[in-house]
Amino acid sequence: MEAADLLAERFEANRTHLRAVAYRMLGSTGEADDAVQEAWLRLSRTDAGEIDNLSAWLTTVVSRVCLDMLRSRRSRKEEPLDPHVPEPIIDAEDDGDPEHEALLADSVGLALQVVLETLSPAERLAFVLHDMFAVPFDRIAEILDRSPAAARQLASRARRRVRGAPPPDGDLEQQRLVVDAFLAAARDGDFEGLLNVLDPDVVLRVDGGEVRANATTEIRGAAAVVEQAKNFRGGGRFARRALVNGAPGIVVLPQKRAIAVAGFEVAEGRIVEINILADPKRLRDLDLSALGVEPAGRQTDSDAPE
Which is more confidently placed, 273 or 239? 273
Q: What is the pLDDT of residue 296?
A: 56
Q: Which CATH number fits domain 3-90+115-162: 1.20.960.40, 2.40.30.10, 1.10.443.10, 1.20.140.160?
A: 1.20.140.160
Asked if the model's pLDDT at residue 301 lies above 50, the reply is no
- Of 10-19, 28-37, 72-81, give the lowest mean pLDDT range: 72-81
The predicted pLDDT at position 213 comes to 87
Per CATH, domain 172-303 is 3.10.450.50 = yes
At residue 304, the pLDDT reads: 37
Can you give the pLDDT at residue 298? 43
Share of the chain above pLDDT 90, in %: 55
Handedness of CA 228, 280, 87, 127 (dihedral sign): negative
- pLDDT at position 300 is 39
Stretch 121-132: mean pLDDT, rounded? 96
Q: Is the pLDDT of residue 111 over 60?
A: yes
Sheet holding 90-91, edge to edge: 90-91, 239-244, 247-252, 260-267, 270-277, 198-207, 217-220
Predicted local distance difference test score (pLDDT) of residue 58: 96
Q: Is 48 helix (H, G, I), strand (E, B) or coil?
A: helix
pLDDT at position 49 is 80
Task: Encode pLDDT of 139-193 as tens digits.
Answer: 999 999 999 999 999 999 999 988 865 677 778 899 999 999 999 998 888 989 9
Domain ranges across the chain: 3-90+115-162, 172-303
Look over the chain and give the mean of its residue pLDDT values, rounded to a whole number.
Answer: 86
User: Percent of the chain at pLDDT above 70?
Assistant: 86
Question: Could you report the per-residue pLDDT of 192-243, keeping only the tens digit for each?
Answer: 999 999 999 999 999 998 888 888 999 999 999 998 887 666 656 788 899 9
**Widest pairwise Cα distance in the chain:** 67
Residue 280 contacts by C-beta under 8 Å, 6 or more apart in sequence?
Answer: 209, 211, 212, 259, 299, 301, 303, 304, 305
- How do 239-244 and 217-220 pair as beta strands? unpaired
Q: What is the dihedral of CA 81, 83, 87, 93, to 10 degrees?
A: -160
Rounded to two decimals, the pTM is: 0.84
DSSP symbols for 197-234: HEEEEEEEEEE-TTTTGGG-EEEESHHHHHHHTHHHHH
